[in-house]
Amino acid sequence: MTIAQSQRSLRLGVNIDHVATIRNARGGEHPDPVRAAFAAAAAGADGVTAHLREDRRHITDDDISRLIEKLTVPLNLEMAATDEMVEIALRHRPHAACIVPEKREERTTEGGLDAAGQHNQLAPFVSRLVDANIRVSLFIEPDPRQVEAAIRLKAPVVEFHTGRYAHLEGEARSEELRRISDAAALAVKNGIEPHAGHGLTFDNVLPVAAIPQVQELNIGHFLVGEAIFTGLEASVARMRGLMDEARG
Ligand code: PXP
């Protein structure tokens, strides 16, 4: 990691899951998500995010081993709160683990974790990861009830699901942006570092990136899709540039 990258007030985590989706469509080794991780870091990503799903539909166990072995920027492992995933996280010790809700039939992570309703189920997973010095993040909706649950769970980080924001338009989008901004302020007031992600694109990233409390954005599907037209390094560099522009 360069000094400039480690000191940024808004970090970019590039989610490489869908490079693995394309690889898995044919089997074999191409395109390699680890190569994508290096390209993303070279283009200005501060970290790499990978979701090891229960059904291994994109990222595989071998991808996680290779990322841990080779990456020079922090790895954020997205995972469901299950014994299997916690064992994997404890074995590999990524820099961060983002706990997400996971349903086999969903196409992507739909909605945030119900940290408020599932406090007792989540608590042992959060504490095992925190005790292992892994920076735990809870992927939640920008809702004060969920932030309060994260405080009770002693999670050091929350990531706000921006999927609703990304799909809304006009006044409804502005209202959702206010919810994200208020939730980020509540998190910071309580010592929690706010991140955000899901559905972010060149067209909608600026207002989210301009929320001063937000310290990291995790972006994947759009960047990998855009890479088909411009190359991954160019798509990551442009996103990085927009985030810097939003922070003035
Ligand atoms: N953050 C989390 C927790 C996610 O689950 C995802 C999707 O895998 C992302 C960020 C990135 O979302 P997108 O691929 O829509 O940019």
Catalytic annotation present for 51: yes
Give yes or no for a contact between 63 and 50, defined as CB atoms under 8 angstroms apart.
Answer: yes
Which residues make beta-bridge pairs with 159? 139, 195
Residue percentage of the chain with pLDDT more than 90:
92
For the chain, what is the mean pLDDT? 95
d(CA 43, CA 32): 17
Catalytic annotation present for 161: no
Q: How far is the CA of 195 from the centre of ligand 1 (A)?
A: 11
Catalytic annotation present for 198: yes
**How does pLDDT run across 202-211, given as a tens digit for each residue?**
999 999 999 9
**How does pLDDT run across 19-29, given as a tens digit for each residue?**
999 999 999 99
Q: Is the pLDDT of residue 134 over 60?
A: yes
Contacts of 172 (CB under 8 A, 6+ apart): none
Q: How far is the CA of 189 from the centre of ligand 1 (A)?
A: 25
Element holding 198 (H helix, E strand)? none
State the number of CA atoms in the 13 A half-sphere of 196 facing the CB: 34
Pick the CATH number of 3-246 from 3.30.70.270, 3.20.20.70, 3.30.465.10, 3.40.50.300: 3.20.20.70
Residue 3 is predicted with a pLDDT of 46
**How does pLDDT run across 62-86, given as a tens digit for each residue?**
999 999 999 999 999 999 999 999 9
Q: Is the pLDDT of residue 246 over 60?
A: yes
Q: What confidence category does residue 5 fall into, taking pLDDT thresholds of 50, 70 and 90?
A: low
Give yes or no for a contact between 67 and 48, defined as CB atoms under 8 angstroms apart.
Answer: yes
Closest among 60, 57, 52, 104 to 79, alpha carbons compared: 52
**How does pLDDT run across 31-47, given as a tens digit for each residue?**
999 999 999 999 999 99
Choice between 116 and 9, residue whose per-residue pLDDT is larger? 116
Question: Which of 49, 76, 157, 205 to mutate for ligand 1's pocket (most ligand atoms within 8 Å of CB)?
Answer: 49
Domain boundaries, the chain: 3-246
